[in-house]
Amino acid sequence: MKYLERAVSPRLAPFVECVWTAWNPRSSGAPERIVPDGCPELIVHLGDAFARRVGTRWQRQPRAFLAGTLTRPWMVKSGRRALTVGLRFRPAGFTALFGGSLAGTADREIPIDGLLGAAGRDLVARLGRAQSAPRRLDAAAAWLLEHTEPEAARTLSSSAVASIVKARGRARIDEIADRLQCTRRQLERSFARDLGIGPKIYARIVRLNAVLARLDETERASAVDLALESGYFDQAHLLRDFRLIAGRSPRKPRDEDGEMAKHFTRPDRLRSLFLGE
């Protein structure tokens, strides 16, 4: 599976992490493990649609959809011909650009037509006309600039996201609410609208990804030391969160996540998102 991504313009960077594309004209259809990172994405399958494992069955994904913020790992696999484009939003970035609410979208695939209407259809059409990976990324970035009106003001949830990331997921939600001069309930409602999940589960996702970001640099450290340094009570707590959120052990090689998915858990990406490096 070949993979290419590109950062967006400075105007969009506070809201969009990147646009990316992955393709393989003869895909093996091997499973890919997508680990939650707090980032919803617009996904367009230009080749064969992927399938996602739901329970014991594989369910075909829509051709174009919003992948709501994940709280648990997704196992997906491509068809014979993979050609997919993704627009990856930062936490609270999607609603800042498009308005509306992400409440009820967590762990779900929301068809793009019902979500964005004519603008969504325009995105699919532009990507379909692009004849190369760089041009697909050009088309996705241009569509974002034409169809969005970035808001300058920070929302309650975006301010809380910054605080949670700065604390690497170890801050108490009540303390963050006090710091932002709001109630915990107000913060939870803001997160439901802008991320589709609550601040507590987002903090768990941040804490786990902060561990993932450091694994390649701390292979010499014991799992107990790593757990304690990252704010877990003990090694068992760390392993439990990895099983529930990442669907694998901390030491399992990233390459085993899948040809495409391994790019999403690159240490440099995770360090940028969760460690501010």
DSSP for 61-118, please give it: PPSEEEEPPPSS-EEEE--SSEEEEEEEEPTTHHHHHH-S--TT-TT-EEEHHHHHTH
φ, ψ at 231 (rounded to 5°): 95, 10
Q: Going residue by residue through the chain, which has 277 residues, state the pLDDT in tens, using 9 for 90 and above.
A: 999 999 999 999 999 999 999 999 888 888 999 999 999 999 999 999 999 999 999 999 999 999 999 999 999 999 999 999 999 999 999 999 999 999 999 999 999 999 999 999 999 999 999 999 999 999 999 999 998 877 656 789 999 999 999 998 888 999 999 999 999 999 999 999 999 999 999 999 998 888 887 766 544 445 556 665 666 656 677 777 777 887 877 777 777 888 999 999 888 998 999 887 7
User: DSSP labels for 217-235?
Assistant: G-TTS-HHHHHHHTT-SSH
| Domain layout of the chain by residue ranges | 2-147, 156-275
Q: How far is CA 249 from CA 36, 38, 69, in A?
A: 14, 19, 21
- What is the rounded distance in angstroms from the CA atom of residue 84 to the CA atom of residue 96? 25
Same fold, 2-147 and 156-275: no
Q: What share of the chain is helix, strand, coil (3-state, %, to 5)?
A: 45, 20, 40
- What is the rounded distance in angstroms from the CA atom of residue 250 to the CA atom of residue 242? 6
What are 44's strand-pairing partners? 64, 85
Residue 214 structure tokens? 């450091």
CATH topology of domain 156-275: Arc Repressor Mutant, subunit A (1.10.10)
> How far, in whole angstroms, is CA 71 from its chain's centroid?
10
Question: Which helix (H) or strand (E) element contains residue 175?
Answer: helix 173-179
Nearest to 164 by CA among 120, 122, 210: 210
Residue 231 structure tokens? 């704010």
Question: Top-level CATH class of 2-147?
Answer: mainly beta
DSSP 8-state code for residue 206:
H
The answer, as to whether pTM is greater than 0.75, is yes
Amino acid, single-letter form, for residue 9? S
Question: Which helix (H) or strand (E) element contains residue 3?
Answer: strand 2-6
- What is the rounded distance in angstroms from the CA atom of residue 2 to the CA atom of residue 5? 10
